[in-house]
Amino acid sequence: MHTFPYEPLRILAAVLFVVLMVGAYWHYRHRKQHDFFTKYKMPIVCVMVIVTLFVFYTALFAGKGTTGHLSVYYFGNTQGPFEYGPELPLMSSIKFFLHFDDFKRVEDIASHPANIPPPLKRNHAEHVTIDLVAEEVIAELADGTTFNYWVFNEQVPGPMLRVRVGDTITVNLKNEMSSLHMHSVDFHATTGPGGGAKALQVPPGETRSLTWKALAPGAYIYHCASKHSVGAHNAHGQYGLIIVEPEEGFPLVDREFYVVQGEFYTRGKTGDKGFVAFDSQAMLDEMPNYVVFNGRVNGINGKMEAKVGERVRIFFGNGGVAKTSAFHVIGEIFDNVHHEAGTLMNHNVQTTLVPAGGATIVDFLLDVPGDYILVDHALARMDKGAWGAIKVTGEENHDIFRPHQAVDSRAHH
Ligand SMILES: [Cu+2]
């Protein structure tokens, strides 16, 4: 494993610094006999200053990520299966800094929760082609806060893909020329090494393809699985859901929504304004500043509408990379839950667990108008952005829900 040799360099720098200090002292004591140090005083001072700064810089930032615009996995400590290289993370940091103004700005990174492919109405298997584009862009994570996202098709989560069990799927993954990193896809719906990730490791500017067969129905996460840290790629927004419909399809409902939870690890605090850099140490510590639905704070809020009497289905995934979601809709009870998005059905569920790299499929009937807020019921995460409302309009149903007139009890005394 060849990492950047900052440890020996730091020791060398410290030794040099001590030698120079001793030399300077020696020069001070014998300044009449030796004019060498007098002659080269300024260069010596400069070298000492540079060495000191280097020692402080490496001591401060080694293994912690970097400041300012340097958002990549700099000197990241990974015990994972990938080696560094062929390019040092430091080089990526420098390149990111140099090309900061060239990265594409995306207006709204959030995948629209209602803008998804409709149910498949076919009774036979097909050969389906899926085109995905990996790209590194800059977009808002919260109002006034921007982040360097790594995405599929310019959105977080990546597009909701929809196939039928028995389908043969050819995936073409293109990695944009502007990318600084290798990207890939691991489909949890795929049976084969890496879920396809090894065949689909794509260097910037290239395309790779893979054909696989969907063997089992459900809702499956797909995500990037590239070095130097798979977690870091996911924590930049590279995940989505692929729905594999059963032969008979899912029972038809009135509305379907697509929501994927994710975590963002940024330097500084939740709510800091301006460009915020990725913090690899915070990721290792599993301490995200943001936990959000569809890639950003307010990623789904105000984008979902329904009517009283309608049945709503939510395909809900968790891109991770550390937290298990306690998925809940405030004011509703899930009539049906595909436990872990599999075939085991549960009913009358208030909160369902969705692990990192997992999903669920829930549906419920809307009886009463109002705002129904999706949350991760580990509610500290609501303050980190994990919420968004479905606006339900229609007739009041006072048999089921009836607020009473406010009574001022003081009037009776
Ligand atoms: Cu990636």
- The DSSP result for 249-286, as a single string, is -SPP-SEEEEEEEEEE-BSS-TT--EE--B-HHHHHTT
pLDDT confidence tier of residue 71, bands split at 50, 70 and 90: very low
Considering only 52-56, 75-79, 173-177, 329-333, which range has the smallest mean pLDDT? 75-79
Report pLDDT for 259: 98
Considering only 164-173, 227-236, 320-329, which range has the smallest mean pLDDT? 227-236
Per-residue pLDDT tens for 380-413? 999 999 999 999 999 999 999 999 988 877 766 5
- Among candidates 139, 136, 146, 144, which has minimal Cα distance to 99? 136
Expressed in angstroms and rounded, the spacing between residue 170 Cα and the centre of ligand 1 is 19
In a domain, 285, yes or no: no
Instruction: Round to whole Å and give the CA distance between 306 and 107.
Output: 26
Instruction: Round to whole Å and give the CA distance between 141 and 276.
Output: 9
Expressed in angstroms and rounded, the spacing between residue 144 Cα and the centre of ligand 1 is 25
In a domain, 52, yes or no: yes
Report pLDDT for 187: 98
pLDDT confidence tier of residue 70, bands split at 50, 70 and 90: very low
Counting the structural domains of the chain, the total is 1
- Among candidates 320, 309, 184, which has minimal Cα distance to 262? 320
Can you tell me the mean pLDDT for 364-388? 98
Expressed in angstroms and rounded, the spacing between residue 150 Cα and the centre of ligand 1 is 6
CA–CA–CA angle 259, 391, 156 (5° rounding): 20
> Residue 303 half-sphere exposure, CB side, CA atoms within 13 Å?
22
For CA atoms 366, 263, 321, 319, the dihedral sign is positive
In a domain, 374, yes or no: no
pLDDT confidence tier of residue 58, bands split at 50, 70 and 90: low
Expressed in angstroms and rounded, the spacing between residue 238 Cα and the centre of ligand 1 is 6
Q: Report the 10 Å Cβ neighbour count for 181.
A: 23
Mean pLDDT of the chain: 87
Expressed in angstroms and rounded, the spacing between residue 181 Cα and the centre of ligand 1 is 7
Expressed in angstroms and rounded, the spacing between residue 232 Cα and the centre of ligand 1 is 8
Neighbours of ion ligand 1 (CB under 5 A): 183, 224, 226, 233, 238
Expressed in angstroms and rounded, the spacing between residue 235 Cα and the centre of ligand 1 is 10
Residue bearing the bigger pLDDT, 115 or 411: 115
Residue 34's domain comprises: 1-62
Q: What are the structure tokens assigned to 222, written together?
A: 């797909």
Expressed in angstroms and rounded, the spacing between residue 351 Cα and the centre of ligand 1 is 31
Does residue 76 have a pLDDT over 80?
no
Expressed in angstroms and rounded, the spacing between residue 182 Cα and the centre of ligand 1 is 6
In a domain, 42, yes or no: yes
CA–CA–CA angle 117, 115, 132 (5° rounding): 65
In a domain, 54, yes or no: yes
Expressed in angstroms and rounded, the spacing between residue 225 Cα and the centre of ligand 1 is 6
Report pLDDT for 406: 84
pLDDT confidence tier of residue 170, bands split at 50, 70 and 90: very high
Assess contact for 377 and 323: CB atoms under 8 A.
no
Expressed in angstroms and rounded, the spacing between residue 343 Cα and the centre of ligand 1 is 30
> Which pairing describes strands 239-245 and 218-223: parallel, antiparallel, or unpaired?
antiparallel
In a domain, 384, yes or no: no
Q: Report the 10 Å Cβ neighbour count for 106.
A: 18
- Among candidates 69, 63, 81, which has minimal Cα distance to 276? 69
Considering only 19-23, 202-206, 276-280, which range has the smallest mean pLDDT? 19-23
Considering only 111-125, 187-201, 265-279, 325-339, which range has the smallest mean pLDDT? 265-279
Does residue 305 have a pLDDT over 50?
yes
In a domain, 50, yes or no: yes
In a domain, 107, yes or no: no
Report pLDDT for 78: 60
Per-residue pLDDT tens for 246-293? 999 999 999 999 999 999 999 889 999 998 888 888 888 899 999 999
Highest mean pLDDT among 6-20, 28-42, 325-339: 325-339
Instruction: Round to whole Å and give the CA distance between 401 and 413.
Output: 30
Report pLDDT for 18: 82
